[in-house]
Structure 1
Amino acid sequence: MRIGFYTSTFNDRPLEEVVDFAASAGFDAIEIDVGGHIKTPDRVKAAVSLARERNLFVSSITYFGNQLDADNAKRKDLRSRTAEFAQAIGETGVPVFVIFPGRNDDASDDVNYDDFATYVNGLIAETASSGLTFAIENWPGPKDNFVGTTPKGYEELFKRIPDRRFALEFDPSHFLRTGIDPYLALDAVKDRIAILHAKDTAVDATALQAVGYHGKGWWQYKLPGLGLLDWSRFLKQARSYGFDGTISIEHEDAAYGWPGKDLETRKEGERVGLGYLRTVLDKL
């Protein structure tokens, strides 16, 4: 397995500086954020080349946005731009394009699932020549209601999108705070994992008791190894399914400078995550 990180932690720094750091710190791979480090489809090739010149594997390119936005104009614009990025990414040979399903709050669940599935099936058909894989992360969104981000949601999408070029960027941290067993969730989708996000979650039991699941301040995202997940168990489980792809650290740990605080502290967080994951993998 390769270990990389998602560049969004350094969206205030130029990509050249970010990939220089990744290479010097000993990472194998990089996951590039469109919003922070690419911006437009015509810049995809140059961004990928920057990373490859430093012998970094570009595991994926990630593009935020609500693909089911209730505003028809916004949805149409995002989907048009997504298609342009898909074409550009496919031409570089980067294997995975991560997008987010979102939700149309004005439509039913079935309409949301049908709409997103029809859209993704179209993207898959349009990129047949490149073989690009489209993945969604199980981040439930700012309202915790994005479609396709729970085990039940996965079932709904997979029965509508049977092609294996639709897969998951599996992030256990979100399940840890939403009451879903991440190990059971991983087992249920073992043949549809494109990339793993390395992020953990810590829970403050006293705060949880005080405010309940719908309250605030009882959980925090952490670097791998600093939260509740048993990473040895999790990665051994993934390997048993034949996963040998990229583990991408998504650094959102406030104790290590996130978001956008001291740069050296953020870099140290990435190094801490890398060192921990190397140790875990060495012992598997």
Structure 2
Amino acid sequence: MKIGFYTSTFNDRPLEEVVDFAASAGFDAIEIDVGGHIKTPDKVRSAVALARERGLFVSSITYFGNQLDADNAKRKDLRSRTSEFAQAIGEAGVPILVIFPGRNDEGSDEANYDDFAAYTNGLIAETATSGLIFAIENWPGPKDNFVGTTPKGYEELFKRIPDRRFGLEFDPSHFLRIGVDPYQALEDVKDRIAILHAKDTAIDPAVQQAVGYHGKGWWQYKLPGLGLLDWTKFLRQAVSYGFDGTISIEHEDAAYGWPGKDLEARKEGERVGLSYLRNTLNKL
């Protein structure tokens, strides 16, 4: 199993500097953020080459955006650009493109699921030659209402997108804060996991009691091992299902310089996450 990190934590730094750090710190892999480090489809090949020159496996490339945007022009533009990126990423030999389903607030749940499924099935057909895998992360979005980001949502999407080239970037931290058991959720989708995000969540019961679920400040994203998740249990569970892919740290821990604050603190956070995950894997 490879350990990498998602480059969005360093979107203020050039990719060359980021991959140099990843290699020197002992990471095996890198997950590259389009918005911060690639920008346009024609830059995919050079970005991937930069990482590979440092001996890093490019586990995935992640393209942020609401693929169901209610604004027709924005949706068409994002989807067109996603197709261009998919072609370039497949040609570069990167195995996974991570996207976000989003939601059209003007449509029903069923319409949203039907639309995203039809679109994704089209992407899968377009990239048959490269065999690119499309994965969605279970981030529920800024309004906590993105489709396909809960166990029920997975069920709705998988019955509409049966191809195994559609899967998940499974992030347990989001489930911890929305009240879903991450271990059961992993069990339910064990044959559709493309990549794991290593991020944890801490919850302050006193603040939660004071402000409730819709209040602020009662939960925080943390580096793996600094929140509520039992990582030994979680990773042992993933291994038992045959998962042997990449664990990608998504560093959003405010105690280690996120977002965009002290650079050395952010780097130290990545090192802390790497050390913890290495030690955990060694005990499995």
TM-score normalised to the size of structure 2? 1.00
Does 1:12 pair with 2:12? yes
Match of 2:31 in 1: 31
Residue 114 of structure 1 and its aligned partner are, at CA, apart by: 0.1
Match of 1:237 in 2: 237
Match of 1:176 in 2: 176
The count of aligned residue pairs is 284
CA distance in structure 1 between the aligned counterparts of 2:246 and 2:5, rounded to whole angstroms = 9
CA distance in structure 1 between the aligned counterparts of 2:142 and 2:110, rounded to whole angstroms = 21
Post-superposition Cα deviations, 1:43-77, rounded to whole Å, max 9, x if no partner, equal 00000000000000000000000000000000000
Residue 144 of structure 1 and its aligned partner are, at CA, apart by: 0.2
Post-superposition Cα deviations, 1:89-119, rounded to whole Å, max 9, x if no partner, equal 0001100000000000000000000000000
Q: 1:239 corresponds to which letter in structure 2?
A: V
RMSD over aligned Cα atoms: 0.2
Residue 215 of structure 1 and its aligned partner are, at CA, apart by: 0.7
CA distance in structure 2 between the aligned counterparts of 1:212 and 1:168, rounded to whole angstroms = 30
Which runs of at least 4 in structure 1 moved beyond 2 Å after TM superposition? Answer: none
Unaligned runs of 5+ in 2: none
DSSP-derived class of the 1:105 partner = coil
Unaligned runs of 5+ in 1: none
CA distance in structure 2 between the aligned counterparts of 1:231 and 1:68, rounded to whole angstroms = 33
Does 1:257 pair with 2:250? no
Q: 1:51 corresponds to which letter in structure 2?
A: A
CA distance in structure 1 between the aligned counterparts of 2:184 and 2:192, rounded to whole angstroms = 14
CA distance in structure 1 between the aligned counterparts of 2:177 and 2:124, rounded to whole angstroms = 32
Post-superposition Cα deviations, 1:151-205, rounded to whole Å, max 9, x if no partner, equal 0000000000000000000000000000000000000000000000000000001
Q: 1:139 corresponds to which letter in structure 2?
A: W
CA distance in structure 2 between the aligned counterparts of 1:92 and 1:80, rounded to whole angstroms = 19
Q: 1:253 corresponds to which letter in structure 2?
A: D
Match of 2:86 in 1: 86
CA distance in structure 2 between the aligned counterparts of 1:259 and 1:19, rounded to whole angstroms = 19
CA distance in structure 2 between the aligned counterparts of 1:265 and 1:102, rounded to whole angstroms = 32
Alignment of 1:1-284 (within 5 A): 1-284=1-284
CA distance in structure 2 between the aligned counterparts of 1:215 and 1:209, rounded to whole angstroms = 10
Q: 2:10 corresponds to which letter in structure 1?
A: F
Residue 235 of structure 1 and its aligned partner are, at CA, apart by: 0.1
DSSP-derived class of the 2:265 partner = helix
Q: 2:176 corresponds to which letter in structure 1?
A: L
TM-score normalised to the size of structure 1? 1.00
Residue 17 of structure 1 and its aligned partner are, at CA, apart by: 0.1
